[in-house]
Amino acid sequence: MQLVFATNNPNKIKEVQELIPQHIKLLSLEDIGCYEEIPETQNSIKGNAIQKAEFIKTHYGYDCFADDTGLEVDALNGEPGIYSARYAGEQRNAEDNMNALLNALKDCQNRSAHFKTVIALELNNQQHIFTGICEGEITNEKQGKNGFGYDPIFKPNGYQKTFAEMDLKLKNTIGHRGKAVSQLIAFLNS
């Protein structure tokens, strides 16, 4: 079986490839000749995942899956949410995004947050949805060098380390994307 993972993010591809069984060949957008920006114009994480998967199926004809992930902070009414990648602007810079979030929370005691990943699978002309959530909190400062995005400032509940201080195997086991991908794999293997 082969599936397109509808993302241009090499970090996401690396994380998911660690989880996908070898009998499933994962194709990137580059592998199928898709170099255009896939629209993400929906008002929810689920809506954006669906939009991306449907775009690839409609325009390229491949069975595929797409994910959308957002960091939702309780004290900020769920922000940055669907704007997580461009919280500090269209340049989509992780350092700028983390700095903007830390600044927004500088006087805040409630630092509860969760990462949410929704995967939309387009397979055999049917759509399936898988959701992974990881509860945690935003730290006061960046910690760790691993991972990407907000990983240096997100500490999952029950752990003393941020995602950026964990190895990829542990992050994939407890993290939002790992949880959603595990559901995807269980479905594909059923």
What are the residues facing 156 on neighbouring strands?
A: 136
The reply to whether 107 belongs to the active site is: no
Residues 6+ away with beta carbon under 8 Å from 176: 69, 114, 115, 116, 117, 132, 133, 134
Residue 129: CA count within 13 A, CB half-sphere? 14
67, 68, 74, 107: the catalytic one is 68
CA distance 126 to 141: 43
Catalytic residues: 68
